[in-house]
Amino acid sequence: MASLLPFSLPKPNLFKVSSSLTSSPPSTLSLPENLEDKFGRKGIKFLESNNIPEVELTVRNGSSVRLRIPDAHVISYKPKVQWTEDGFHELLCTVPAAEADDSSKSRGGIGLVINDASESASKGSLISASQWTVKDVDSDAIDALQVELCCSSGALDITYVVSLYPLSMATAVIVKNTGRKAITLTSAILSHLRFKKRGGAGIHGLQGCSYCRHPPPPSPFELLSPSEAMKTESSGWFSSDPVEKTGSWSVQDVPFTVLNDKLSRVYAAPPAERSKAFYKTPPSKYEAMDQGWELFFRMIRMGFEDIYLGSPGSFSDKYGKEYFICTGPASMLVPVVVQPGEKWKGAQVIEHDNL
């Protein structure tokens, strides 16, 4: 299993299965039964849905994560919580894609975003056409589980590790440049979180942080496109505040960010300030609070410089009665430059104390 960022969480290290004992690329295993034979262990189950191979991780207390393998899309996270009917809560908002000819695809959930940011590029995704394969699994009994996926895109070798623990889950990415030229990219790990109702969604922990109105990075997993996220909604019960100006920086002066209204922001140190010897960065963690279900989840950022936060307002109606937000760590405003032979790492941890 690849060495990751120093999580303040237990790292499974007692049992490991690798697809290869050498440094050669892992063999592609497309059938779930082959994956189950090679990688399946207690708490790690390979299955198929709509002809798409998936892996489900389940730790001892019943918390689970479900991951689509070909596109590395986390489509479900159901942690154990105290006050729901069955003891578990689906945190992620995941819906089928709009394309009628491909109902097997899904959007929302937790999606990895890696986009080309070089001056001569199309600014598109570097991984949307890549085929992810299982490289490794790791476990510590069934209290900590990991699955490691890998893919290549041009000169980039990309590793994506999804980990599950009793009270948290983590997604981590490692990007290695195997070419001879530097590669410039933007990246994010964006989570679409479910809320019981529009009036009970909020964020705590961003007070004193600089922010500006900004679209989310384009992603094959988006529920709102960058242009949709930036559209203003008509005034109504939830829309009494003035519209924020794109590119205008403000400082959050209240402890809670209420997400009733349509909103699309990046919380970050303004790029002009990053050349200074000292500047204020956004917090490494903040909390998504759901008053409807009386739950909260702590979002932890590692390696990324920015935080994206978006709420759909009335645009959520097309996805049903429940509400959702999109948030996560990102490196959007100042692209990451990965030099030849070097690696770049970033991660997100979602943890909770709802037991």
Confidence at residue 129, expressed as pLDDT on a 0 to 100 scale:
87
Confidence at residue 12, expressed as pLDDT on a 0 to 100 scale:
43
Confidence at residue 321, expressed as pLDDT on a 0 to 100 scale:
85
Confidence at residue 247, expressed as pLDDT on a 0 to 100 scale:
76
Contact 230, 215 (CB under 8 A): yes
What is the identity of the amino acid at 235? S
CA dist., res. 15 & res. 122, Å (int): 43
CA dist., res. 9 & res. 243, Å (int): 40
Ranges of residues in the chain whose predicted pLDDT is under 50:
2-29, 99-101, 238-240
Confidence at residue 118, expressed as pLDDT on a 0 to 100 scale:
84
Domains and CATH numbers, the chain: 15-21+29-351 (2.70.98.10)
Residue of 285, 288, 279, 69 lying closest to 191 (CA atoms): 288
Confidence at residue 329, expressed as pLDDT on a 0 to 100 scale:
98
Q: Are strands 201-204 and 285-290 parallel, antiparallel or unpaired?
A: antiparallel
Confidence at residue 233, expressed as pLDDT on a 0 to 100 scale:
80
Confidence at residue 107, expressed as pLDDT on a 0 to 100 scale:
93
CA dist., res. 105 & res. 125, Å (int): 17
Confidence at residue 121, expressed as pLDDT on a 0 to 100 scale:
54
Q: What's the whole-model pTM score?
A: 0.88
pLDDT tens readout for residues 284-327? 999 999 998 889 999 999 999 999 999 999 999 988 888 999 99
Both tokens of 244, joined, read 């924020």
Confidence at residue 55, expressed as pLDDT on a 0 to 100 scale:
96
Confidence at residue 202, expressed as pLDDT on a 0 to 100 scale:
96
